[in-house]
Structure 1
Amino acid sequence: MSSSPSPSQSSPSAWKYSTDKMVAMYLRFVARIVIMGSALLFAAHLGGYNPAKYLTTNKVIGVIIILAVVASILYYVVDRNFYLSFLGWAVYPCGSLAEKVPLNADTSITVTVPPNVNVIYWASEPSKAEDQPIDNPWDAYANYDNSGVVRADSTGSAVLRFRSPSSYQVGLFNRTLTRHVHYRICKHPGMLSDVKTVMI
């Protein structure tokens, strides 16, 4: 009677965050705790309590807390995903997506990603030059038909093919974003990277 295969033979090893991703994740968590704690201390001060008095009598602790607060604020000031969290990492079963190219694709860009991964990409819809910039992203992307999925080759090269996109305006001050394409990398069959952008 043949022996049953070992667990390592019968199924692939479980995926987990790399060390640098784990460190970044914990740093974000700690920074949020520090900022929330600072907000609570400020609220306590407004309520008539004086937490600053304790900090001034314990200077070492006070300096540590001040440095932690400043570092946390600086960390998030430059973190786009803090303001636009929907652009960050996302859980999604992306490993088995079928490759597709938008109809009438006339523009292509090559990006470098990890080898043999799926890349999901999308761009705004084409429009006449005189109609640009489109005044909001919702009209610019319409139904997100100008999107596709491509698999990178063994060297990590992925060719994104799409219809030539339009520029559009975003935000309260109508800032114009020039033509570009967004993409996410399928880092693992169940995990999408944050949104990356290539200008055209």
Structure 2
Amino acid sequence: MIKLIIADDDLLIRESLKIILSADKELDVLEAFENGKEAVNYILTNNVDIALLDVRMPVLNGVEATKEITERTNTKVVILTTFDEDEYIDNALKFGAKGYILKNNAPNEIINTIKMVHKGNSVIQDNVLERLKCNFQNKNEIKLDKELFTQREIEIIKLISQGLSNKEISSNLYITEGTVKNYISSILNKTGLQHRTQIAIYYLKGNL
């Protein structure tokens, strides 16, 4: 059973999500909150697998809540919002969100995203990813020399671009998840990038 909480300042959406998600036998909706601060406080004292967060909320918004949750707990964050502005997308991913989808998705898409993130995958809706790619393309046109990276780092870059999670990469390369995280940190430092999605975009655009 996947234990999750919801945070959305719109009462109707919040209660609708509770009903929809609770209908799935694999999901256990623990609580629903109207702001990010309440969500963070609950997660700090309870075992929560997934936090489904809106972006624009009072007291503490979804992006700021994501930062606190990922820094202080093992709970995975999925951003569910009506907004696809570049700043929100980039910051939410930079702070560790594992999913970013829009509210206009069908209920089964939201449920599938929650389950995929729980399994260790990162999920970004296609049109959100396109916005991120376009924004990233305008800012980063420098092509990096492959010699900057070790052979293992290049292997990991390729696997990240295929959408593999750290767990899947560790299994594929027969190394620990901790070692994978260390390699990703090294790649980010060498490229000046901020999160794994940017690594994938960098590679897919042919800048490596």
Using the size of structure 2 for normalisation, the TM-score is 0.23
Which of the pair is proportionally richer in strand? 1
Could you say which structure has the greater relative contact order, defined with CA pairs below 8 angstroms and 6 or more residues apart?
1
The higher radius of gyration belongs to 1
Using the size of structure 1 for normalisation, the TM-score is 0.23
